[in-house]
Structure 1
Amino acid sequence: MNAIVAADQNWAIGRGGDQLVYLKEDLKRFRALTTGHAVILGRKTLATFPGGRPLKHRENLILSRDPDFHPEGCRVFGDIPSLLAAAPADAFVIGGGSVYKALLDACDTVYVTRIDAAFPADTWFPDLDRDPDWAITDISQPLEQDGLVYRYVTYRRKESDHVPG
């Protein structure tokens, strides 16, 4: 599986239930990478989408402990084993923080938009730079929007005896 996330220089990813910043080109890249693939997200992340509706042209797999949560156009899973059993190998974990942490071990590629700034935050992604199981395999040239500089960085899990889950 894959994960895709935008993180600041301290690996912060959100505040108050929303992303730290919206970057126009990053949103286009997100759409290009995830369209046609399943996306895995939590109930709170779904609520941040326009109208709280699932992303188009993607199978939306929701991880939620709420047995009464059944949004139209989504498949809901109450636990990680059932979600992993149903998720295709090329699915993208798209948030939020607790979903990333719960499923990072099942991922072998993480697409990170690294923003060269520090934001006030209450949600963080695990620091892949300090994790010996991960290595940078690609990094873009710097991009800029509204004075914010950012790069696309691809991390891949190093070859090891890693068993997902």
Structure 2
Amino acid sequence: MNVIAAVDQNWAIGKDGDQLCYLSADLKRFQALTTGHAVILGRKTLATFPGGRPLKNRRNLVLSRTPSFAPEGAEVFRDLDSLLAAAPADAFVIGGESVYRALLPWCRRAYITKIHHAWPADTFFPTLDGDPAWRLAAEEPPLEQDGLVFHYVTYERV
């Protein structure tokens, strides 16, 4: 599996149930990388999508313990084992924090957008820098949008 996330300088990913910022270049990259693949996400992350609907052109696998949760166009899994049994090897884990933490041990590659800014936040991605299980595989030059500098980094499991 793969994981994809946008993080700030402190590896923060969100506040009050939403992303810290939206960068059009990053959203296009996310779409290009994940289209045609399964995406794995939690119920709260799905709720942040337009209309709370699953992403188009992707198989949406949602991890949720809420018994009545059954969104149209998504497959819901009540536990990690059943999700892992159904998830293809090329799936992308797309959030939120608890889903990232639960599935990171099964991921082989991490596509991270590092935003050179720090925001107040209440949700975080595990820090991969300095983690002996991960190595930096690729790093792209910085980009800028609306005064925010960011760059793409790819990590691979050692």
TM beyond 0.5: yes
Flag as ranges the 4+ runs of structure 1 deviating above 2 A: none
Give the structure 1 partner of residue 136 of structure 2: 136
Q: Secondary structure at the match of 2:102?
A: helix
Matching residue's letter, 1:12: A
The CA distance in 1 between the partners of 2:98 and 2:125, in whole Å, is: 9
Partner of residue 46, structure 2: 46
Distance in 1, matches of 2:133 and 2:77, equals 28
Q: Does 1:56 align with 2:56?
A: yes
Match of 1:161 in 2: none
Amino acid at match of 2:86: A
| Matching residue of 1:74 | 74
Cα shift readout 1:106-147 (whole Å, capped 9, x = no counterpart): 101000000011110000000000211101100111000011
What is the identity, as a one-letter code, of the residue corresponding to 2:75? R
Shift of 1:67: 1.2
Q: Give the letter aligned to residue 39 of structure 1.
A: V
The alignment status of 1:91 with 2:91, answered yes or no, reads yes
Mind listing any 5+ residue stretches in structure 2 that lack a counterpart?
A: none
User: For 1:67 and 1:38, how far apart are their aligned partners in 2?
Assistant: 22
Once residues 21 and 130 of structure 2 are traced to their aligned partners in structure 1, the CA distance between those partners, rounded to angstroms, is 24
Aligned equivalent of 1:101:
101
Deviation string, structure 1 residues 9-39 (Cα, Å, up to 9, x no partner): 1100000000000000000000000000000
Helix, strand or coil at the partner of 2:149:
strand
| Structure 2 SS opposite 1:114 | strand
Residue in structure 2 matched with residue 163 of structure 1 by the alignment:
none
Q: Deviations over 1:86-117 (max 9, x none)?
A: 00000000000000000000101000000011
Matches within 5 A, 1:105-116: 105-116=105-116
Amino acid of the structure 2 residue aligned with 1:87: A
CA displacement at 1:4 relative to structure 2: 0.2
Partner of 2:8: 8
Q: How many residues were matched structurally?
A: 158
Which residues of structure 1 form unaligned runs of 5+? 159-165
Distance 1:95 1:118 in 2: 19
Helix, strand or coil at the partner of 2:10: coil
- Find the aligned partners of 2:137 and 2:103 in 1 and give their Cα distance: 21
Aligned counterpart, 1:29: 29
